[in-house]
Chain A
Amino acid sequence: MTGCTDPTILNLWFAIGAEQETTPCIVSDTVLLEEDLSFTLDRVGQPLVWRRDARWPAGSVIDTSDVSVTLPVKQAYGYIWTCLGQPSADIFPIEEYDEPDRRNLNAASIGVNVSGPRAIENFLDMGHFPYVHTDILGVQPHTEVKEYDVEISESRDEIVATRCRFFQPMASTASTGGADVEYVYRVPHPYCSVLYKSSGQNPQRMDVIALFLQPVNQERVRAHMLLSMLDEANDERVMRRFQQTIFGQDKPILENQYPKKLPLDPRAETPIRADKSAVAYRRWLSSKGVTYGVIPAAN
């Protein structure tokens, strides 16, 4: 096995499964950065993650105290996170998650045959709304991506795109008609992004949708989605189905991108002004020296 040798990526925290979908003391298997892992929750709901061991196959009942060698773990935003290298102290903050009137839920964990960075770019992209999410997040002929701002926040080392606006016929389950919807995008982690979108019900505040990518290998991810919504009207099933529909529309496009790894050489693809945030993201990955899931630019 080649495995991941990119130190930047190895030292990151990655979400590997939703707490809600993990049964305590039952073993679940997964793959992170080409390493076979197992995980579960103990009796009091504390997660533990270990390198896969034939003694505890997936689905078996386990006494968690038997597992002596475990990987670092954290619980955040409804997911179990782990790290294969030397983890940083904290996972990036999403302050809104703790607001008492929000409904937080994991919308889905979906496998996609594409690199993580390609999936992040898709998440940051508005220009595809009328074509890929026709009649939901966009509709022809309203195809314009208006000017927006992108910067790399110095204090937090993350990309922030603001003043993003796009015409949407039905922006969420709470919308009834078309409107210009405002977005803010953050990329606080090479494999995670958070978007804020004006809420149909409360114009002063924003719904939050976060994407946590679990790289299975360089060309395959599991995409975990967190919703932190101000929607009081719809039940969780409807909200989940909405996001799953959106993601299901992106998946075949993502899986038809060639190459699957994100090329960081500026001459690999042709950017336009609407791709400002993607251009910033590619530069940011280059400046961090990321090599996993990308084709680094030849120097």
Chain B
Amino acid sequence: MGNTMLEAAQHQWHPIASSEELEYRHTFHGQLLGREFAVWRADDGNVNVWENRCLHRGVRLSIGINDGTELTCQYHGWRYANRTAGCTYIPAHPADSPARTICNRTYPAVERYGLVWSGEAPQGDPPGVALLDGTDVLSLRPIPVNADLETVHRQLTAYVFQPNEGLDGAKAAVSVETSGDLSIGLSSVSGDCKTQAVFFLQPVDSDRTVIRGVLAGMPAHKAQLDVLHHHNERLSALRERCEAEASQLPQPEKLQPVIQPVSEELAGMPEQSTSGRNADLRVKIARKWSTAEGIAGFELVSIDGQLPTFQPGAHIDVHLPNGLVRQYSVTNGPGETQSYKIGVKREPDSAGGSQCLHDDVREGDVLAISEPRNNFPLRRDAVKTLLIAGGIGVTPILSMAQALYHTGLDFELHYFAQDDSHLAFPDILETLGDSLHTHLGLDPEETEQCLEGLLADYQPAMHLYVCGPGPMLETTRHTADRLGWPDQAVHFEYFKNTHEIDDSTSFEIALSRSVMTLQVPAGTTIMDVLRDNGVSVPSSCEQGACGTCVATVLEGEPDHQDVYLSETEKKRGDRIMTCVSRSKSARLVLDI
């Protein structure tokens, strides 16, 4: 293939698979212009066309496992999400959420005429073929030929076949109806019978081409097999002619696809993100509905392109029309990447956040949100996981439950709520089967008793995740502690920090990497001082609940005022939430 032709081919659409080849939960090995693809259909119907190598160690993803929502690499079990190809889980580090944007290269995919179309950088839409539009089509078995594109093209213009209804009839007259670089439309007429067919040429490499034939019109069911046999025979003979001809030609050089290097950020060991509260994404409210008493569901879709990958436990910042910023957990299950679904409870003492979403924001409105951030990551190396949710605290837990359910890991979800009408997202709950246990209408004392029972039997490698109102969370943590759960097995997320913040102290902070020494006066937070001095700090809730603004403490004794760190982590004193916590020592050295 000449250079100009190759160049042109890189900007064209090509068939790389037939729809039938993408069987249920199969991963198909596609090839085009020397490049390999992992092609797989998710259970929601979406066709994924990805670079055929895991970003980690280069193993082909076409040998990966398609579980209907994510593709898992065979080598180290890295999971990549439907649509985004973003990594959602790295089993070697179960406690971490993949902090970096580890994302495989994706290619466009369109299904048309029973074929899956893709390309390196195709322009516009896949080609329309008048012969095939507005009619049923039958796609033939793909015929791989060890010959270059031109040879196969030339042979195909002389391809002779019988019309569907006249397979045994007199020798048909075949004429070329259309001819392009990459396809040939033929028409076969014998007596009264006529069949039109289009043969697409898929240039797999410089010396290999796949013929993908599509017949216009579907033959009667009984005749289908005969028609397929007919073409199989004729095309196999054509293949032999092509290969004989190509063997006389000099062997062309194989195409060398360019594999894009991973981003600078992914090349080294992970660094913390440094952006502040961001609102990079614009989303439209595709749906707003009442999912339970006092709880509104919102489905947010991107207005320009694909939403970033989320992981179970992740939250987004929602920037409201009235200027407030609120955090909401993504409730989605694995692979649900077309939208984010969040649940918002109307708070009676709302400062205007939940009220605004309930009363003022409507379907069709556009909101600014942050990328999903995960400070409540789900380990998947537990022998059993207990999920405990109270009220609206169920939202991050729902995402976790679906991930665990989908991968067949042992878990129980205990959902505490006032009554049936307060159970949010019943459509999701329904899918969790026997793993769901609801506890309705319990007063605080009964709740505590119930928790005692649930937490009674701690075993090594069990993990507990809890999210709910402050008092219930405290009770769960204390009960777990009393019943022998180690601190590192208990994971929690508070909605907000209800502790009163004491900001009366003043102290000095030294930034070891930035080589700066700054004063934090009473009434000002570490975060404010950092930002005033041009040091950017990532943040989200800014009240010591979400964990986004964490910094490493190298020296000094932090005065923890957050609800994010566990007791053990607080005692260790090597991390601090810069939005609310302060210093007990006169000086604090931070790794910033």
Quick one: closest B residue to A268, CB to CB?
B261
Please give, as numbers and ranges, the residues of chain B lying within 8 Å of A256 by CB-CB distance: 59-60, 63, 74
- How far does the alpha carbon of A252 sit from the alpha carbon of B59 in the complex, in Å? 10
Closest 4 CB pairs of A and B: A143-B91, A267-B261, A127-B92, A274-B92
Q: List 25 A-B contacts (CB under 8 A).
A: A121-B57, A127-B91, A128-B75, A130-B77, A131-B74, A132-B75, A141-B380, A141-B383, A143-B92, A144-B381, A252-B63, A256-B60, A256-B63, A256-B74, A257-B57, A258-B53, A258-B59, A267-B267, A268-B259, A269-B57, A269-B58, A270-B262, A270-B266, A272-B56, A272-B90
Q: How far is the CB of A170 from chain B (nearest CB, A)?
A: 17
Interface centre among A131, A256, A259, by most chain B C-beta atoms within 10 angstroms, is: A256
- By secondary structure, the B interface counts as loop
Q: Flag whether B356 is at the interface (Cβ < 8 A).
A: no
Quick one: closest B residue to A279, CB to CB?
B269
Interface centre among B53, B57, B77, B267, by most chain A C-beta atoms within 10 angstroms, is: B57
8 additional A-B residue pairs with CB within 8 Å, beyond A258-B58, A270-B56: A142-B381, A257-B58, A263-B58, A267-B262, A267-B264, A269-B56, A269-B58, A270-B267
Q: Flag whether A253 is at the interface (Cβ < 8 A).
A: yes
Quick one: closest A residue to B383, CB to CB?
A141
The answer to whether B59 and A259 touch across the interface, beta carbons within 8 angstroms, is no
Query: Which A residues form the contact surface with B (CB < 8 A)?
Result: 121, 126-128, 130-132, 140-145, 252-253, 256-259, 263, 265-274
Q: Mark B448-473, 1 if CB is under 8 A from A, else 0.
A: 00000000000001000000000000
The answer to whether A145 and B75 touch across the interface, beta carbons within 8 angstroms, is no
- How far does the alpha carbon of A264 sit from the alpha carbon of B49 in the complex, in Å? 27
Query: Which B residues form the contact surface with A (CB < 8 A)?
Result: 36, 52-53, 55-60, 63, 74-77, 90-95, 102, 259, 261-264, 266-270, 380-383, 409, 461
Please give, as numbers and ranges, the residues of chain B lying within 8 Å of A131 by CB-CB distance: 74-77, 91
Please give, as numbers and ranges, the residues of chain A lying within 8 Å of B409 by CB-CB distance: 141
- How far does the alpha carbon of A145 sit from the alpha carbon of B63 in the complex, in Å? 23
Please give, as numbers and ranges, the residues of chain B lying within 8 Å of A271 by CB-CB distance: 56, 267-269
Quick one: closest A residue to B98, CB to CB?
A272
Please give, as numbers and ranges, the residues of chain A lying within 8 Å of B57 by CB-CB distance: 121, 257, 269
B102's contact among A141, A145, A270, by CB below 8 Å, is which?
Answer: A270
- Provided the pairs A142-B461, A256-B60, A256-B63 are in contact, do residues A274 and B93 lie with their beta carbons within 8 angstroms? yes
Please give, as numbers and ranges, the residues of chain A lying within 8 Å of B60 by CB-CB distance: 256-258
Q: How far is the CB of A108 from chain B (nearest CB, A)?
A: 21
The answer to whether B77 and A269 touch across the interface, beta carbons within 8 angstroms, is no
- How far does the alpha carbon of A175 sit from the alpha carbon of B262 in the complex, in Å? 41
Please give, as numbers and ranges, the residues of chain A lying within 8 Å of B77 by CB-CB distance: 130-131, 140, 143
Please give, as numbers and ranges, the residues of chain B lying within 8 Å of A143 by CB-CB distance: 77, 91-92, 94, 380-381
Please give, as numbers and ranges, the residues of chain B lying within 8 Å of A259 by CB-CB distance: 58, 259
- How far does the alpha carbon of A263 sit from the alpha carbon of B53 in the complex, in Å? 13
Please give, as numbers and ranges, the residues of chain A lying within 8 Å of B102 by CB-CB distance: 270
The answer to whether A272 and B63 touch across the interface, beta carbons within 8 angstroms, is no
- How far does the alpha carbon of A144 sit from the alpha carbon of B461 in the complex, in Å? 11
